[in-house]
Structure 1
Amino acid sequence: MVSGSVAAQRTDPLAPLPDSARRAVNATQPARPPIVFTPAPAAVRTGFEAYKDRLAARARREGVREATIQSTVPTLQQNPRVITLDRGQPGQINNPNYIPPFAPYRREHVTASLISRGQTRYADNAVFLRGIEQRFGVEASVLMAIYGHETSYGSITGSFDLLNALSTLAYEGRRRELFESEFVAALKLLDRGTPRSRLKGSWAGATGYPQFMPTAVLRLAADGDGDGIANIWSNEADGLASIAAYLREAGWKRGVHWGIPVRVPATLNRAAIANHLTAPRCPRVYARHSQWKSLTEWRALGIAPLGTTSGISEQEQLSLIEPDGPNDTAYLLSTNYRTILDYNCSNFYALSVGLLADRIVGR
């Protein structure tokens, strides 16, 4: 037998077919479709995981760097505690017309500790504060009072991760546009070089010594000590200057005090001075204010200032508020009081800031 003969190839089952035979066999077989590899379907993203795609898309549209988006958005986590705190804010749902008295709030927020610590800080930083007051036109005592009210002079600034808190609040949806905007602003702070570890604050997204929302940080963070950096998280001078920048932008009028305590006569006709306008912002807050009148006009109605009226000219336009009702201390409020309301739209907040400021400087 000759090795490799046709006969040997026919009888050896392992021997390859000749080319002609192989072509004949292949011609009788149906064509096989090409092999296509299809990846297994990815898990469908739902809920908060899907919502992260929306946040990423919005951030791109608003100019956030892709590297910032990719390093941040996938790491976001919902914070159930944030939702609990947001839904548990105090309110008078059963009786929306009920207004609690101011006195308990005042006792809690104009304390001996806040007054004494504010006095010490004010004295220790007198030269710097005079410079800030000159630069921005805002009373330094009010800056110190807001600093004390917001963070107990820097000791309580909040420990919530801002990006998780803001994305959680945006996903909840009750104020989605607000919190999406603040979330994107926080990403822009990262773009500017602020480390995420510094972006801590309240559950509602306020951060730093002034407790600014991220959009306010971008717009108003100020360099208070001249080092070329606006660091509102650990630099007290920058924090105070930033509060001053905020109030100036809100319309603070240089040289005018926020308000004065007064005594109201029993004969005052409150219906005649009632304010019938509806404010576009915080209407229930402004509804408690009377019509505007000059100090001279208020005196003519029997309103008597308690203590000094420095910083309030006789022609200054003022509105009246009686936070504890008739027969208790009332206040005449200047337009600068309303800039404090812009910081936090609550009469109790603004009054306590003004009163703390007065106590800090012994007014």
Structure 2
Amino acid sequence: MIPFLRRSALTLALVCAAPAIAQNAPGGEAGAQDAPPAADQPAAPDVAPDAPSAADAAFTAFVQGLRARAIAEGVKPETFDRETAGLTFNSRVIHFDRSQPGGAVTSGQPGPMDFAPYRRSHVDQAHIEKGQTRYQMLSAQLAGNQARMGVPGNVALAIFGLETGYGIYTGSFDLIRSFASLAYDGRRRELFTAELIATLKLIDQGFTRAEMKGSWAGATGYPQFLPSTYLRIGTDGDGDGKADIWTNDADTLASIAAYLREAGWKPNTPWGVAATLPSDFDRAAIRTTLVSPRCPRVHARLSRWLTIGEWKAKGVIVAGYPAPADTELATLLEPDGPGMTAYLLTTNYRAILDYNCSNFYAMSVGVLADAIVR
């Protein structure tokens, strides 16, 4: 499978014509038009259940209609009954879902990216210093992750920092109520029904309902995984027999590394490198003709693929370090437009896009990762 056209295995129900699943849930369509992802700040807290209404009976009947499927997929009957008892519809998550920036525009060239303001607010000194501190504290753990999975610790740390401020804010919405409400709404019923069942499986594994908090769309824990993502790749990073992405840094970083490995991360290859273009560079000649099956307007910003050696032959100067090998394939991005710093991006950049399909996000991860070890 070609890495840079890889369709996420996390949320195949999400296509680019659908609004974003939100708040940087891995594999979601945040930034489908390459708008900056939502600011990394605490989400508005969940509120008390809505007052009973005439629609409550229909919602309750819908939820109870899922019981047989949940049990057939391995959820304990007593878990389903206990956790869905008295469950009420949450209209707030539906409001947020329908207020997502439009993902319906899937063709045409996107406008200027203007990355610099986003970079200043996300790759700031606070993010860098906190990342450096954790890099020193967890150096042995990160080295072990890299040896096993090939993913550098600074890249995993950068994702941890951008997703939740290194665990400071993870969301306060009750996942079971959110998923049940989103499934009942019906726009992506299968996706959210599956995530509701996955959440119940987590409770059966010993995690508590109180731990099952997250963004309104169900991204949970330090890495903001969907529950089904956790069930598939949650990784024990400290050897205690439990993969705890809600309170444990080591497990979080191992799980992020496992995600990137699954997304096609190539070991011993940088995510990208800064580059300088000649003044007479022909940008039209390197425009891609490929159309990505996933968030095409994000990928439309990227050039066609050439080897680093071929880019050098066109007069592109590699201005950063470490430089990919001359045989490595790379695509070109000018996140702040012509005349500003350009980047040659390897297939590992595509692995970061798999985590959150936004060039703003993926560029921030790469730049922050470099700053952590500078």
**TM-score category of the 2 structures, normalised to the smaller one:** 0.7 to 0.9
Spell out, residue by residue over 1:238-281, the C-alpha distance to the aligned partner (whole angstroms, 9 max, x if none): 11111111111111111001001112223222222111111111
1:325 and 2:343 correspond: no
C-alpha distance in structure 1 between counterparts of 2:56 and 2:126, whole Å: 51
Bigger Rg, which one: 1
Range with bigger deviation, 58-67 or 164-173: 58-67
Contact 2:332 2:342 in 1 (8 A): yes
1:223 and 2:222 correspond: no
SS at match of 1:336: helix
1:191 and 2:204 correspond: yes
C-alpha distance in structure 1 between counterparts of 2:208 and 2:219, whole Å: 16
Q: Which residue, out of 57, 77, 88, partners 2:88?
A: 77
C-alpha distance in structure 2 between counterparts of 1:318 and 1:285, whole Å: 16
Give 5+ residue unaligned stretches, structure 2: 1-53
SS at match of 1:197: coil
2:353 alignment partner AA: L
1:15 paired residue number: none
TM-score of the superposed pair, with normalisation by structure 1 = 0.83
2:309 paired residue number: 296
RMSD between superposed Cα atoms in Å? 2.0
Number of aligned positions between the proteins = 319
1:52 and 2:63 correspond: yes
Greater RCO structure (CA 8 Å; 6+ sep): 2
2:363 paired residue number: 351
What is the CA-CA distance between 1:220 and the residue it aligns to? 0.8
SS at match of 2:182: helix
C-alpha distance in structure 2 between counterparts of 1:277 and 1:160, whole Å: 39
C-alpha distance in structure 2 between counterparts of 1:54 and 1:339, whole Å: 38
1:73 alignment partner AA: T
More helix by share: 1
What is the CA-CA distance between 1:91 and the residue it aligns to? 4.3
Contact 1:48 1:78 in 2 (8 A): yes
1:207 paired residue number: 220
Question: Counterparts of 1:151-166 in structure 2 under 5 Å?
Answer: 151-166=164-179
TM-score of the superposed pair, with normalisation by structure 2 = 0.81
C-alpha distance in structure 2 between counterparts of 1:248 and 1:279, whole Å: 20
Spell out, residue by residue over 1:205-230, the C-alpha distance to the aligned partner (whole angstroms, 9 max, x if none): 01111111000110111111111111
What is the CA-CA distance between 1:301 and the residue it aligns to? 1.0
What is the CA-CA distance between 1:81 and the residue it aligns to? 2.2
Contact 1:52 1:74 in 2 (8 A): no
Q: Summarize the Cα distance change of 1:182–1:146 in structure 2 as closer, same or farther, 3 Å threshold.
A: same
Q: Which residue, out of 111, 116, 120, partners 1:103?
A: 116
